Amino acid sequence: MKIFFSLMLLFLPFLCRASAADSAWLVQNYTKKEVSIKMRDGIKLYTIIYEPKNHTKPHPILINRTPYSIAPYGDNVFKAFWNSHYIDYFKAYYIIVLQDVRGKYMSEGEFMDVRPFIPNNDRQTDEASDTYDTIEWLITHVKHNNRKVGIFGISYPGYYATMGALCGHPALKVASPQAPVTEWFLGDDFHHNGAFMEMDGFNFYSSFGKPRPIPAKTGAPGFQYYTRDNYKFYLEAGPLKNLARLMGDSVKFWKDLYDHPNYDQWWQNRNTRKFVKYISKNTATLVVGGLFDAEDCYGAWNLYKSIENDAHNNNKLVMGPWSHGGWARGSGEFLGNARFGKKNSEYYQKNIEEPFFAYYLEGKGNIKKIKEANIFFSGVNEWRSLSQWPPANNRNTILYFNANGKLNEQRPAGTGENFASYYTSDPAKPVPYAEGIHFARTKEYMTDDQRFAAQRPDVLVYQTDTLPTAVTLGGAVIADLYTTINTTDVDFVVKLIDVFPDNFKYDSTVDGPGNGRDYTMGGYQMLVRGEIMRGRYRNSFSDPAPFVPGKPTEVRFELPDVAHVFKKGHRIMVQVQSTWFPLADRNPQQFVDIYHCDAKDFIPCDVQIHCDEIHPSAIILPILYNN
C-alpha cells in the first residue's frame, strides 16, 4: 500500500517537521467547524473550516479538496498542521478549508476517478462546478473573508486543484497543482506510454477503489498479501487477468482499465491538459513537482507546458530534487543514496510557495521575485531561475549507440551484424526495477544505483568516455531506437544514468547529509531518468500495431524532462532493456490482448538494437550551451 500510504501522509497528520507554533496555539487562535455544502444538484460535500479568531482584518481562503479524507473529524479535534510548513498559513491567519470530494468519505454522491471536465457547464456537475459552488458558499457564509481564494493539492488533490482552476469563479485568485494527476495513460501513476504500472495500480485500487455506498469516516482495507516480496508476488500472480480475479468485481475503475487498453476517447476525456484554456487570466497558477517523483513526474512538467501554450494567465513552474510530495514533508536534502546539499524543501516553502500565495491572496510582496521557471539542477545541486522552460539555450544533441558499448556523437559508419547489439527478453525472468527484496514500491528507485542491472545479459549498456567538461541537460530526453525482433510485440525501457568516478565520495560539508547508510559511491550509476515504451504504441497510442518479425523498425519516444549536470570526470550511460518488473507489467511479447491473455501467451523475444549508419540508434539529449 505504499502509494496510498504516502499520499495519505500528505493530508492526514502533516508529519515530518517541528514548528514554533504548537497545538495549543492553534486551538487558542482558531475555531474548527464541520459543515455540509450543497452543490447545484443537491448533493452535499462534507467540509471542515479552520477559521481564525482574529477579526482585525478580512482573511484569504485556502482550499484543499481531497479523496483521501479530511480526518480527523469532530469539532474539537484538530489536524496536526503544526508539524509542517502549513502552520505558516495559520500564523498568517488564513481561513483553511478541507473538503471530502464527491462520493468519498463523509461527502454525499457518487465518486468517479478523474471525472472529466464539462466545458461551458451550467447545470451538470464536475469537479470544476463543485469547486465553484464551494467557493460561492464560502465567500457568502464564512465571515471575515477577503473574497480572495486559493486552491492547492498534491497528487490526486493536485488534479482537483487543476479542475478547480477551470471553474472560472472570480474570487479564485490562485491555484497550485502539485505533483498533479494529469494523464493516466501516457505518463502518470498507472500507465507510462501505454504500459500498465501494475504494482502501483493494484496496491492503490485494492483499497481506494472499493465502493463506499454511504458516507463513512474510514476507508476500506487493502489486499492481504501472502509474501513481502513484491517481485515474487507479481511473478507468481501471472497475467493481468489473474490480478483482476484477486481484485474482485467491486472496483469499477479497475474494470475500466481493462476495458480501455488503448488511448481511446474515454482516456482522452480524462486528459486535464485538453482543458487548461478555460483557466481564467485572473487565476494565477503555480505548478510544482519533483525531479524524482515516481508517480506524477510527467504531470507536473506537461501540465505547466500546456498552461503556457493554451492559457493566458500568470503561470509559474517549480521542480526540485524531491520524490512524490517531498516539498511538503522532509528536508529535501537527499533521496536514497543521492545527496542534494541543502534544505531544499524549506527553500521552496519560504521563497516560492508562501510568497506566491501571499501576493495573490493578501496583496503582499513582489511577484517579480518569483521567476517563470524555478528549477533545481541535480549533479551540481543548485537552484536556477529561468525565464522559460525548456530553457531557450538548450539544443538537442545526438549521442549514438555503438555495438562495442560506446556512446558518442559520431554517427556509426558501416552495416551488418557487427553493428548491432543483442539480448533475449524472457518474461519468465524479468529485469527487476530495483535491487533487493521489497514489499512496497520504493520511492528511491528514481535515483538508485543501476549496477545490478548492468550486470544482466538482457540489459544493454552504452556509455561515453570520461567527460572532459561538465554537460548540463535541461528539457525532454528522446530515445530513438532501431530494432529488429522475432516476435510481434515487445517493450523498451531506456534509462539515462550518471556514472560517478571510481574514487568518488560525498563530502557532507558540501553535499549535505545522507540517509545514514554507508554505501559505496565510487562507480555509482545514478538513475537520472528512466521510462518504458510499450512497443505496439510506437506509431499511435490509439491505434496499436504489431511488429513484423525480422523487419527493422524505429521506436522513438520521449522521456520526462530532466534538469541535471553530468560533472567533469563522470560518464553518461544509457541502459536498454525490455522489462522493468514489477514496476510495469510484463508484455507477453506477442500482439495479444495483454489484459485478458493467458500465461501460455508469454514468450521470449530476441531483440536486436541496430547501431549502423542506416539504422543509428541513439539518445537525444537537451544540452544547455553557454550556461
pLDDT in tens, 95-125: 999 999 999 999 999 999 999 999 987 789 9
C-alpha 604/C-alpha 429 separation (Å) is 10
Residues 349, 85: contact at Cβ < 8 Å?
yes
Residue that is written with C-alpha cell 480524462 in the block: 270
One domain, residues 365 and 437? no
DSSP 39: P
User: Is 497 among the domain residues?
Assistant: yes
Q: What is the CATH number of the domain that holds 484?
A: 2.60.120.260
Say yes or no to pLDDT of 603 above 90: yes
User: Is 193 among the domain residues?
Assistant: no
User: Is 467 among the domain residues?
Assistant: yes
pLDDT category of residue 596 using cuts at 50, 70 and 90: very high
* pLDDT value, residue 2: 41
Q: What is the CATH number of the domain that holds 162?
A: 3.40.50.1820
* Nearest alpha carbon to residue 598 among 244, 254, 262, 242: 242
One domain, residues 95 and 132? yes
Instruction: Tell me what the pLDDT averaged over the chain comes to.
Output: 95
One domain, residues 432 and 577? yes
Of 386, 419, 452, which marks where a domain is finished? 386
Report pLDDT digits (tens) over 405-451. 999 999 999 888 889 999 999 999 999 999 999 999 999 999 999 99
Query: Residue 37 is inside which H or E element, if any?
Result: strand 30-38
Report pLDDT digits (tens) over 497-526. 999 999 999 999 999 999 888 899 999 999
* pLDDT value, residue 620: 98
Say yes or no to pLDDT of 6 above 80: no
Report pLDDT digits (tens) over 175-216. 999 999 999 999 999 999 999 999 999 999 999 999 999 999
Residue that is written with C-alpha cell 548491432 in the block: 420
Q: What is this structure's pTM?
A: 0.95
In percent, the amount of the chain with pLDDT more than 70 equals: 96
One domain, residues 331 and 478? no
Mean pLDDT of 323-328: 97
* pLDDT value, residue 416: 83
Say yes or no to pLDDT of 19 above 80: no
Structural domain count, the chain: 2
User: Is 199 among the domain residues?
Assistant: no
One domain, residues 441 and 306? no
* Nearest alpha carbon to residue 390 among 279, 493, 326, 478: 478
User: Is 219 among the domain residues?
Assistant: no
In percent, the amount of the chain with pLDDT more than 90 equals: 93
Distinct helix (H) and strand (E) counts, the chain = 15, 25
Of 386, 403, 435, which marks where a domain is finished? 386
β-strand partners of 566: 471
* pLDDT value, residue 3: 42
C-alpha 244/C-alpha 221 separation (Å) is 17
Residue 123's CB: how many other CB atoms inside 10 A? 8
Phi–psi pair at 549, nearest 5 degrees? -55, 135
Report pLDDT digits (tens) over 330-380. 999 999 999 999 999 999 999 999 999 999 999 999 999 899 999 999 999
In 495-616, alpha helices (H): 508-511
C-alpha 392/C-alpha 385 separation (Å) is 13
Report pLDDT digits (tens) over 54-107. 999 999 999 999 999 999 999 889 999 999 999 999 999 999 999 999 999 999
One domain, residues 573 and 607? yes
C-alpha cell read off for 300: 507536473
Say yes or no to pLDDT of 10 above 60: no
Report pLDDT digits (tens) over 270-283. 999 999 999 999 99
C-alpha 240/C-alpha 370 separation (Å) is 46
Q: Coil, strand, or helix at residue 277?
A: helix
Domain range enclosing 359: 2-183+271-386
Mean pLDDT of 518-540: 97
Of 333, 356, 386, which marks where a domain is finished? 386
User: Is 541 among the domain residues?
Assistant: yes
* pLDDT value, residue 625: 87
* pLDDT value, residue 31: 96
One domain, residues 471 and 555? yes
User: Is 358 among the domain residues?
Assistant: yes
User: Is 216 among the domain residues?
Assistant: no
One domain, residues 382 and 423? no
Q: Coil, strand, or helix at residue 585?
A: coil
One domain, residues 538 and 603? yes
Q: Coil, strand, or helix at residue 87?
A: helix
One domain, residues 313 and 400? no
Query: Residue 204 is inside which H or E element, if any?
Result: helix 198-208
Mean pLDDT of 222-238: 97
C-alpha cell read off for 80: 496536526
One domain, residues 357 and 424? no
One domain, residues 38 and 157? yes
Phi–psi pair at 368, nearest 5 degrees? -65, -20
